[in-house]
Amino acid sequence: MDTTKLLDGYDLSNISVGVLGGHSALDVCSGAKKHGLKTVCIAREGREKTYSQYYRVRESGVGSREMVGCIDEVIVKPKFSDVLEEEVQHKLRSMNTIFVHNRYFWVYFDDFSKVENDFHVPIFGSRALIKIEERDQQFNQYHLLEFAGIRIPRIFATPDDLDGRLCIVKASEAARGYERAFFLATDKKSWEHEGARLEKEGLVGPDWRDATIEEFVLGAPVNFNFFYSPLTGELELLGTDMRRQTNLDGFLRLTADQQAIALKHVDLKMIETGHVSCTVKESILEKAFTMGEKFVAETQKLSPIVDPSGKGIIGPFALQGAVVAEEGKEDIVIFDVSFRIPGSPGSKATPYSGYLHGENISVGERVAMEIKSAIESGRVEEIIT
């Protein structure tokens, strides 16, 4: 898509920041408002009050005319994919909107190619790369990580290859294909038994046999939330966190004997429900930055088939994995990648952005800073796709 045409008719002195109503919308909009940018949210009917009521921009109502909230404008639609409607796009373009995309752009759209080709609103970030997150793509995150020389878990091509080590089968929920219904296995027999049982109970979809089988990494989970600026050419570590998962977190609060009893009645689930801020030792930081730099460099080498923009990663991304200890030293193993803003605003509570910027900033605020800087320097085209 020609980014110069995306900006045709835009008043760059009056930019709005657009989001889909979920995931990281409040983080993005709060950061935008802090830097004087207007905000617009496409909310789904039935779950719009967070944006149209609770965090809508309004007078505080406590004896002053101070404004509170971070959502200026809300467009309520029956489905998130309705953002592709001509009327909605016209509204967004009339507001000079730069859209900050997230994982919703993949999971709530039946045909993601329409986002790539028919969404004529500039996107901050890498429009075409988000689909690489999906493991069923011909070229996916595993290939990119491998090409970048970043350590990943061993991937087993078939259940026949399982060798007794603990593995995680990355199947999807039956009801919500975009949610996790991961299960564990050590050999082909346990893989078949557990997968068939979960399918029979309606917990995994019938395509679970095609799911990735990945070595289970035993280590301290850490998500490294990075930001790459095309304007400065620098990589920043904005924060580190780890996932909260239901009902895994509930099981972890039980003793071993209680877990054994509970597992007879309740299946273990790993559905992401939030994040917890965490920190890492300073001795790990250089290894993390090196890993991030390799990742950025590899995205900039991608073929036009994978990344038609030729720009590689833009702005926020996350390398998610675990720190493992082997023979007295630590290493980082990455088993998931976010090619866009991660849904973890709590990473602001870690100190890494503050070490660089003087105060802790959220990912959403860093996005706003980049947009403002691009506007002021006449380089908006470099940060959009």
| Residue 134: per-residue pLDDT | 85
Q: Which two tokens stand for residue 238?
A: 């904005």
Question: How confident is residue 1, by pLDDT bands cut at 50, 70 and 90?
Answer: low
Stretch 207-223: mean pLDDT: 93
Give residue 179's pLDDT.
67
| Helix H or strand E segment including 39 | strand 38-44
Tens digits of per-residue pLDDT, 10-32?
999 999 999 999 999 999 999 99
Question: Which strands, in side-by-side order, build the sheet including 220-229?
Answer: 270-277, 234-247, 220-229, 315-326, 329-338
Taking the alpha carbons of 25, 296, 97, 232 in that order, is the dihedral positive or negative?
positive
pLDDT band for position 248 (50/70/90)?
confident
Nearest of 221, 270, 218 to residue 242 by alpha carbon: 221
Beta carbons of 76 and 52 less than 8 angstroms apart:
yes
Mean pLDDT, all residues of the chain: 93
* DSSP at 217: P
Check if the beta carbon of residue 296 is closer than 8 Å to that of residue 286: no
Q: What is the DSSP letter of 53?
A: I
Predicted local distance difference test score (pLDDT) of residue 381: 96
Least confident of 183-192, 253-262, 305-314, 347-356: 253-262
pLDDT at 79 (0 to 100)? 96
- Cα 146–151–157 angle (5° rounding)? 60
- Structure confidence at residue 173 (pLDDT): 84
The DSSP line for 249-314 is HHHHTS-HHHHHHHTTTS---EEEEEEEE----HHHHHHHHHHHHHHHHHHTT--TTT-TT-----
Convert the pLDDT of each residue in 299-339 to its tens digit.
999 999 999 999 999 999 999 999 999 877 899 999 999 99
Spatial CA neighbour of 340 closest among 324, 321, 305, 364: 364
Tens digit of each residue's pLDDT (9 = 90 or more) over 119-178 = 999 999 999 999 999 888 889 999 999 999 999 999 999 999 999 999 999 998 877 766
What pLDDT does residue 271 have?
75
For residue 71, the cross-strand partners are 56
Distance from the Cα of residue 27 to its chain's centroid = 13
Q: Tell me which DSSP letter residue 202 carries.
A: T
pLDDT value of residue 252: 85
Rounded to two decimals, the pTM is 0.91
Q: What is the pLDDT of residue 181?
A: 79
DSSP designation for 216: P
Domains of the chain by start residue, with CATH: 3-124 (3.40.50.20), 141-151+218-358 (3.30.470.20), 155-215 (no CATH)
Closest CA to 279 of 347, 193, 340: 347
Q: Tens digits of per-residue pLDDT, 175-212? A: 776 667 789 999 999 999 999 999 998 888 889 999 99
Chain centroid, CA 6 distance in Å? 24
How do residues 36-58 score in pLDDT, each as one tens digit?
A: 999 999 999 999 999 999 999 99
List pLDDT tens digits, range 92-125.
999 999 999 998 988 898 888 999 999 999 999 9
**255 Cβ contact list (under 8 Å, min separation 6):** none
How far is the C-alpha of 313 from the C-alpha of 127, rounded, in Å?
A: 9
Burial class (CB in 10 A: 0-12, 13-18, 19+), 10: middle
CA angle (35, 345, 46) in 5-degree steps = 95
Q: How many CB atoms lie within 10 A of CB 194?
A: 18
For the chain, the maximum distance between any two Cα atoms, rounded to a whole number of angstroms, is: 70
Task: Say how far apart CA 379 and CA 97 lie, in whole Å.
Answer: 16
Whether the CB-CB separation of 23 and 340 falls below 8 Å is answered with no
> pLDDT per residue over 59-97, tens digit each?
987 767 789 999 999 999 999 999 999 999 999 999 999
Q: Which H/E stretch holds residue 17?
A: strand 16-20
Helix-, strand-, coil-residue percentages of the chain, each rounded to 5: 35, 25, 40
